[in-house]
Amino acid sequence: MLNSCMRWFLRFLVSLLAIIVHPLTYLINIKRNKKCPPPTNPLLFKSATTLAMMIRNKQITSEEVVSAYIERCKEVNPYLNAIVEPRYDMAIKEARCIDKMIASNERSNEDLAKEYPLLGIPMTVKESIAVEGMSNDCGTVFPYRMPAKKDADIVRRARAAGAIPIAVTNTPQLCMNWETYNNVSGLTMNPYDQKRTTGGSSGGEAALIASAASIIGVGSDIAGSLRLPPMFNGIFGHKPTPKLLSIEGHVPDCLDPEFDEYFALGPITRYAEDLPLLLKVLRQPTGPDVPLDKPVDLTRLKFYYMEGDGSNVTDKIGSDVKQALEKAKAYITATYNVEVKELNIANIEHMWEISVRVLFNIQHVRNIYTDPEKRDQLISVWPEVLKKMIGMSDHNFTCVAYGPIKKFFDALPKNYYKKLLKVFDGIKSEFNEALSDDAVLLFPAFPYPAHLHYRIFYKFLNCGYLTIFNALGLPATACPLGLTNKGLPVGIQIVANKCNDHLTLAVAKEFEKAFGGWTPPNKDLFNSIKTA
């Protein structure tokens, strides 16, 4: 197991990196200081659930809604650089068709609600998820373009339910980073502060949804990508129980049949009530039996909390996240008269290492070294590493580093890995017992709110807050809990046992009611303009 020497070494390494990266990021980001304007159109403040109802009731047309969102995309994208490829003209055409169908009065409102729950609703899609005819390169430079040939499974289901994709959104190269930049579309910025990251890898989605330029979207998560960007942007994201949604149609894909035990696609939304709506539309019929419609009685739930994994490898949570967690705990205690108990899991301090090892043990994830002829083999990694060192590589650091790191982990003794897995089994069954079917766990998503661009290079060890639930395969909802004094979003993860997604979704909805959920970016800017 990672002994105290190794822990100390990892901490020492990131402290060294911090000495270089920390001051550098002030300089690099100095010119990024434009303020994304706040939304004003009242249409942009309604949930997808409400909008879909209004469209069905003919109180408003799909074209009006889609146009409002397209206008907003055009307004904010110069500040955020979140869009890889828009689909505006097609979207308007599709909206008009839907409006005609509704006007024809052939179906009752109830039938429409049942058959097309997302009828006329605009959506955005992370570029790594295929939308027919749209860019699907995941930030990798190719000499030619390879638009997606057909929709990914979840996109097909969303469109069959009446949703209209309006754009595909930015990711880090091959989704391999917790910040969002690549050499095809560049850097995506946080709507609350341009100098700061939107997180990754679903960074484009989170930036657009938080700036009210999209109402619902879909992303993917192998190491926190459906939770970190929502946390950094003050919106909702949900990593479902494994296999609830099909992962077909994602770039990068993977030959390992166990990939979908750890990797998931899922919804990102601005309003909590839209998460279950989307999950019900997107789930695959062969997936696990998650009772999304089952009513949840919060008075009968058990609540646990943890402040981290106790590994001493990750940072301890900072004051902003600590306050948010305390606020959530205090609310539960005051409202339901139950204590939020600390969850103690034996050997949890090994979980950081276990999740990193389990995720790096996944074989044949498509990466820049994947042999184009033989999918299950890698080409030599060292030429690309050398090219990167002399500044000649087309690929970003994290993608280049994946090769040597994977080789390093593959070379470690197998006996040792087996020992780790044994410890992991114990941890899994303790979580299973504690959470059962009637408990949720409040857990930080990251120790701090969004940091300046590129600071991930000394904060990456904190991925342990996120990867733990990929390794354990537990559903987790990213839930915003307001803004910090500096005006940055802060939130936590709400976790439950497998197939208990309905519990985390219900608690997220409750916290939204209690703490206001999403807050528009730069709202004060707007108020000062109005009063000036």
For residue 465, CA distances in Å to 204, 420, 479, 485 come to: 21, 19, 15, 23
Could you confirm whether 225 is annotated as catalytic? yes
Smallest distance from the beta carbon of 393 to ligand NAG, in angstroms?
A: 5
**Residue 77 found at the interface with ligand NAG (CB under 6 A):** no
**Residue 364 found at the interface with ligand NAG (CB under 6 A):** no
Identify the active-site residue in 62, 126, 195, 393.
Answer: 126
Could you confirm whether 126 is annotated as catalytic? yes
**Residue 457 found at the interface with ligand NAG (CB under 6 A):** no
* 69, 116, 181, 352: which one binds ligand NAG (CB under 6 A): 181
In this structure, the strands spanning 302-305 and 341-342 are parallel
CB nearer ligand NAG, residue 404 or residue 487:
404
Q: Are 450 and 190 in contact (CB under 8 A)?
A: yes
Q: Are 123 and 162 in contact (CB under 8 A)?
A: no
DSSP notation for 484-525: -TTS-EEEEEEE-STT-HHHHHHHHHHHHHHH-S---TTHHH
* 394, 401, 404, 430: which one binds ligand NAG (CB under 6 A): 394
Show the site string, 285-324: x = touches ligand NAG by CB under 6 A, - = not: ---------------------------x------------
Instruction: Report the run of H or E that residue 481 belongs to, with start and end.
Output: strand 476-483
Whose CB is nearest to ligand NAG? 183
Smallest distance from the beta carbon of 309 to ligand NAG, in angstroms?
A: 9
**Residue 186 found at the interface with ligand NAG (CB under 6 A):** yes
Q: Are 459 and 407 in contact (CB under 8 A)?
A: no
Smallest distance from the beta carbon of 4 to ligand NAG, in angstroms?
A: 5
**Residue 347 found at the interface with ligand NAG (CB under 6 A):** no
Cis before 285? omega within 30 = no
Find the part of the chain contacting ligand NAG (CB under 6 A) among 74-82, 353-361, 393-401, 506-514. Answer: 393-401
Cα(487)–Cα(519) distance, integer angstroms: 10
Q: What angle do CA 98, 100, 115 make, to 5 degrees?
A: 45
**Residue 104 found at the interface with ligand NAG (CB under 6 A):** no
Identify the active-site residue in 225, 311, 355, 393.
Answer: 225
DSSP notation for 354-398: HHHHHHHT---B--TTB-SSSTT-B--SHHHHHHHHTT--SS-HH
CB nearer ligand NAG, residue 181 or residue 232:
181
Could you confirm whether 214 is annotated as catalytic? no
CB nearer ligand NAG, residue 206 or residue 368:
368
CB nearer ligand NAG, residue 93 or residue 316:
316
**Residue 416 found at the interface with ligand NAG (CB under 6 A):** no
- Contacts for 171 with CB less than 8 Å, ≥ 6 apart: 126, 127, 128, 138, 139, 180, 182, 200, 201, 202, 203, 204
Residues tagged active-site: 126, 201, 225
Query: Footprint of ligand NAG on this chain (CB under 6 A)?
Result: 4, 7, 181, 183, 186, 312, 349, 393-394, 396-397
